[in-house]
């Protein structure tokens, strides 16, 4: 590759990802870009499941490659990304998930998109969600469908162009530092706030469907419920961290869904017709799920399970949002953690 290609830093923030980290790192090591044009930084939240040993082993097996293992004492994603950003040597940083893996041309296509759109601060593409086993495959199908998650271009595809968010994106490192990095007061959804700040600062996030990667979803209904219940609480709480850009109202459709179910159940004690209406609505909901499952070409048992997964996802998300709104009046963000990478804040903590 040309000597003019700038150095790129892979940032992988992990904590107890023993089942995923080896596949993730191996996919990064096989890029079409010359090995001297990128480095891999694994920022570990003090894993206790053997993840660190796997990273060390891979690093020893590829001693000629630039692979670093860095500690993340705070053990949360945002602090890990900030640590990685400051440790990175690259002009660009790229943030795949430890639950994901990337094709051989991932870096090359990301860099091509960035060169084609120099006005962009970050570029990202489509994530192909995959799961293992009966429930994992069905969950993956729901998460990558419009009836499951709405019209997110990074999940269901779309036309190239500016977007409100990018996933597994390639970022201009300096511009992340300029906005202060990631807010370390947020446990989940940190990238939403970061992207909102970038957009509010006049920066452009660019979606290019030619860039592809893979995300490994949860493989059980319990795992899906826990993930969505926690994530949706922080979707609400993050409004106290970033108000400069309105987030899409589609995020709150699950809340309306849950409130509608609860309302009809309660109303049914006074007007039994409400229970019949609820039955009809849930029947239509199930039918929509079955049709979507058929479109995904799932096996018949998985098609029938598709509405069940939809229901778990939407209820978990909606209930989490309700809890988030109940917590909202009492939640006070840590203001000193909002922009830790700004020079004045770094000096204050040194």
Beta strand spans in 118-181 (E): 120-130, 161-162, 170-172
Distance, in Å, from the CA atom of 195 to the CA atom of 189, rounded to the nearest integer, reads 10
Please indicate, yes or no, if residue 117 is contained in any of the structural domains.
yes
Determine the average pLDDT of the residues in 83-109.
91
Give residue 1's pLDDT band: very low, low, confident or very high (50, 70, 90): very low
Distance, in Å, from the CA atom of 54 to the CA atom of 256, rounded to the nearest integer, reads 44
Q: What is the pLDDT of residue 189?
A: 79
Looking at per-residue confidence, does 188 or 58 come out higher? 58
pLDDT of 301 over the 70 cut: yes
Q: What is the pLDDT of residue 157?
A: 67
Q: What is the pLDDT of residue 341?
A: 77
Determine the average pLDDT of the residues in 224-240.
90
Distance, in Å, from the CA atom of 238 to the CA atom of 220, rounded to the nearest integer, reads 27
**Closest among 32, 164, 162, 182 to 93, alpha carbons compared:** 182
Would strands 204-216 and 161-162 be described as parallel, antiparallel, or unpaired?
Answer: antiparallel
Please indicate, yes or no, if residue 69 is contained in any of the structural domains.
yes
For 54, counting Cβ atoms within 10 Å of its Cβ (0-12 exposed, 13-18 middle, 19+ buried), the class is buried
Instruction: Annotate 34-81 with three-state secondary structure.
Output: CHHHEEEEEEECCCCCCHHHHHHHHHHHCCCCCEEEEECCCCCHHHHH
Q: What is the CATH number of the domain that holds 206?
A: 3.90.550.10
Q: What is the pLDDT of residue 243?
A: 62
Greatest alpha-carbon pair distance for the chain in Å reads 75
Please indicate, yes or no, if residue 65 is contained in any of the structural domains.
yes
Give residue 345's pLDDT band: very low, low, confident or very high (50, 70, 90): low
Q: What is the pLDDT of residue 285?
A: 96
pLDDT of 2 over the 60 cut: no
Please indicate, yes or no, if residue 258 is contained in any of the structural domains.
no
Determine the average pLDDT of the residues in 7-20.
91
Domain count, the chain: 1
Please indicate, yes or no, if residue 202 is contained in any of the structural domains.
yes
Distance, in Å, from the CA atom of 153 to the CA atom of 130, rounded to the nearest integer, reads 17
Most confidently modeled range among 177-191, 245-259, 279-293: 279-293
Distance, in Å, from the CA atom of 235 to the CA atom of 252, rounded to the nearest integer, reads 10
Give residue 344's pLDDT band: very low, low, confident or very high (50, 70, 90): low
Determine if residue 167 is left, alpha or beta; phi over 0 gives left, psi from -120 to 50 gives alpha, anything else beta. beta
Q: Are 312 and 150 in contact (CB under 8 A)?
A: no
Q: Residues with Cβ < 8 Å from 295, sequence gap 6 or more? A: 145
Residue 30: half-sphere exposure toward Cβ, Cα within 13 Å? 10
Determine the average pLDDT of the residues in 295-306.
94
Q: Is the torsion defined by CA of 114, 118, 122, 124 positive or negative?
A: negative
Residue 227, strand partner residues: none
Please indicate, yes or no, if residue 344 is contained in any of the structural domains.
no
Structural domain harbouring 78: 8-217
Q: What is the pLDDT of residue 164?
A: 84
Please indicate, yes or no, if residue 208 is contained in any of the structural domains.
yes
Question: What's the token pair of residue 289?
Answer: 């799920």
Over residues 114-156, the pLDDT tens digits come to: 999 999 999 999 888 999 999 999 999 999 888 888 767 666 6
Please indicate, yes or no, if residue 249 is contained in any of the structural domains.
no
Mean pLDDT value across the chain: 88
Q: What is the pLDDT of residue 89?
A: 93
Give residue 160's pLDDT band: very low, low, confident or very high (50, 70, 90): confident
Over residues 244-277, the pLDDT tens digits come to: 555 667 778 999 999 999 999 999 999 999 999 9
Please identify which residue in the block is written with the tokens 């409100």.
Answer: 164
Q: 82-94 as b/e, with b when 16 or more CB fall inside 10 Å?
A: bbbbeebebebbb
Tell me if residue 302 falls in helix, strand or coil: helix
pLDDT of 33 over the 60 cut: yes
């Amino acid at each position: 590759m040309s000597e003019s290609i700038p150095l790129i830093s892979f940032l992988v923030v992990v904590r107890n990802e023993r089942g995923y980290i080896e596949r993730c790192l191996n996919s990064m090591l096989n890029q079409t870009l010359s090995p001297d044009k990128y480095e891999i930084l694994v920022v570990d939240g003090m894993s206790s499941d053997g993840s660190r040993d796997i990273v060390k082993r891979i690093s020893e097996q590829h001693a000629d490659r630039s692979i670093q293992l860095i500690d993340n004492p705070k053990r949360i994603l945002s602090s890990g990304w900030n640590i990685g950003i400051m440790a990175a040597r690259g002009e660009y940083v790229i943030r795949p998930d430890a639950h994901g893996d990337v094709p051989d041309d991932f870096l090359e296509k990301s860099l091509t998109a960035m060169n084609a759109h120099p006005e962009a601060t970050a570029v990202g593409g489509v994530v192909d969600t995959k799961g293992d086993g009966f429930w994992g495959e069905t969950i993956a199908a729901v998460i990558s469908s419009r009836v499951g998650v709405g019209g997110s271009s990074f999940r269901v595809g779309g036309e190239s162009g500016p977007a409100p968010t990018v996933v597994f994106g390639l970022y201009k490192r300096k511009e992340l530092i300029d906005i202060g990095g990631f807010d370390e007061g947020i446990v989940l959804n940190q990238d939403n706030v970061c992207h909102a700040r970038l957009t509010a600062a006049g920066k452009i996030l660019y979606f290019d469907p030619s860039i592809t990667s893979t995300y490994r979803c949860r493989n059980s209904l319990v795992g899906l419920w826990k993930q969505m219940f926690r994530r949706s609480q922080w979707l609400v709480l993050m409004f106290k961290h970033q108000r400069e850009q309105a987030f899409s109202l589609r995020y709150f459709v699950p809340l309306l869904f849950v409130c509608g179910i609860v309302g009809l159940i309660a109303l049914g004690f006074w007007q039994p017709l409400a229970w019949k209406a609820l039955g009809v609505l849930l029947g239509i909901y199930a039918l929509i799920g079955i049709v979507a499952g058929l479109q995904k070409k799932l096996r018949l048992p998985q098609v029938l399970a598709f509405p069940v997964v939809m229901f778990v996802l939407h209820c978990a998300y909606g209930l989490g949002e309700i809890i988030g709104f109940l917590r909202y009046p009492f939640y006070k963000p840590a203001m000193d953690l909002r922009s830790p990478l700004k020079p004045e804040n770094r000096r204050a903590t040194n």
